Structure 1
């Protein structure tokens, strides 16, 4: 699953990477929402989608999807994750899977590992420090009195080898070469993009033990991702293409 994540750069700083258009009606303060170290459900998150003109746009939505058919937003269950295996068929996500697929930029995310009676938080990020894009879904809910709420969810899939030591699920991390395909809701149906909803390569990420302060939603700041020990990593699976390592020893903290 994915219940907390981090976004360090500002949205404007990410514009060159994701190639989105900043719509002029958005106040500048809303488009400068980076440097967030403990993003939780119900909070605003950035999503990038492709409009009818095929140009990428960025906007902020509430994390926790509200289906368009829901009668009341306040009583709706908090749908902050959508399972890749069932989202295309579930009423809550079916329309969004067909018409409103999005990218959710992230620097990393948190997961907790059971350690006896306690749970140790880990910060999971790309080993090369790059930004990620989660596969996302977005929806617009219209209330009977005219209110409007934009909301979104993050897709999850089965864990890769690294994540399996922490949890049996992980967010879907899209390869940059697949971004256009995922966002193309005009010509690609849910079944056409199902192959993109797969676990990340085993050696993409590292899991860093961090402070239990992240357990509190009210905590924020760079100190939340400060490492307490060497990161856990996993080598590429035998069937994955990988450059010759010249028999280098495994990195400290490696799972394999």
Structure 2
């Protein structure tokens, strides 16, 4: 799973990395401890009148499907399993045409041994991680049509079985996509089927096996010192 991650560095670096056409407002500041329901940067492609625009937006990290009556769902939706994303009611509409990329400098995972949980910081040395994500627009029916917060952009990070050395920490990892798969993943004209999910897991395997990690102290605040090795 992925329940805490880091985004460091400049906004312009991310804009350049993804070749973004349009930058949204209220993008979150860099943080060393992003947790569920926090705002995160998402890269998505919108299709209007047969024109595709690549955008970077701020989204709530907890996907809320359009049919939900409440913003925060009863079940946690900040992660979605890649193996079943095409069939789960909460995620399948988003997977069909609303896929996103979510950049990260690294993420935290805890190894559990008995009652002891040991935190690790996991990264892709020298590179920005790019998580496969989904997004959904949720409409707050309690607010008037012209209210600026009537529409809420929400998101989730896909996960998969762990491979490589990180498997010794946790049995799940985020689905980390290589650069040459970003365009295919984002393209709203490409229908999200289980075949696409399986392809994404296949191309992600070599990336996952390059992950490196080190033990860190308690993950309690949002300071840069959180990622320092013990």
| Segment drifting more, 199-208 vs 149-158 | 199-208
Corresponding residue SS for 1:13: helix
Residue-by-residue CA offset, 1:182-206 (whole Å, 9 max, x unaligned):
0112134323422113453254110
User: TM-score w.r.t. structure 1 length?
Assistant: 0.80
Which has the higher relative contact order, 1 or 2, with Cα contacts under 8 A spaced 6 or more apart?
Answer: 2
Q: How does 1:18-167 map to 2 (within 5 A)?
A: 18-23=18-23, 26-27=24-25, 30-31=26-27, 33-52=28-47, 53-74=51-72, 76-127=74-125, 129-146=126-143, 147-167=150-170
2:17 aligns with 17
Write out the 4+ residue segments of structure 1 that deviate beyond 6 Å after TM superposition: none
Residue-by-residue CA offset, 1:170-219 (whole Å, 9 max, x unaligned):
0000000000010112134323422113453254110111111x1x3xx0
Check 1:75–1:2 CA distance in 2 against 1; reply closer, same or farther (3 A cut): closer
Check 1:206–1:75 CA distance in 2 against 1; reply closer, same or farther (3 A cut): closer
Corresponding residue SS for 2:119: strand
Check 1:74–1:181 CA distance in 2 against 1; reply closer, same or farther (3 A cut): closer
| Segment drifting more, 57-66 vs 115-124 | 115-124
Aligned length: 218
1:205 aligns with 211
Aligned CA RMSD, in angstroms, stands at: 1.6
**Conservation of the 8 A alpha-carbon contact between 2:22 and 2:53:** no
Q: Which structure is larger by alpha-carbon Rg, 1 or 2?
A: 1
**Which structure features the higher share of helix residues?**
2
- The one of 218, 221, 224 equivalent to 2:226 is 224
Corresponding residue SS for 2:42: strand
| Segment drifting more, 89-98 vs 136-145 | 136-145
Q: Gapped runs of 5+ residues in structure 2? A: 144-149
User: TM-score w.r.t. structure 2 length?
Assistant: 0.89
Corresponding residue SS for 2:123: strand
Cα distance between partner residues in 1 of 2:29 and 2:140: 30
**Which structure features the higher share of strand residues?**
2
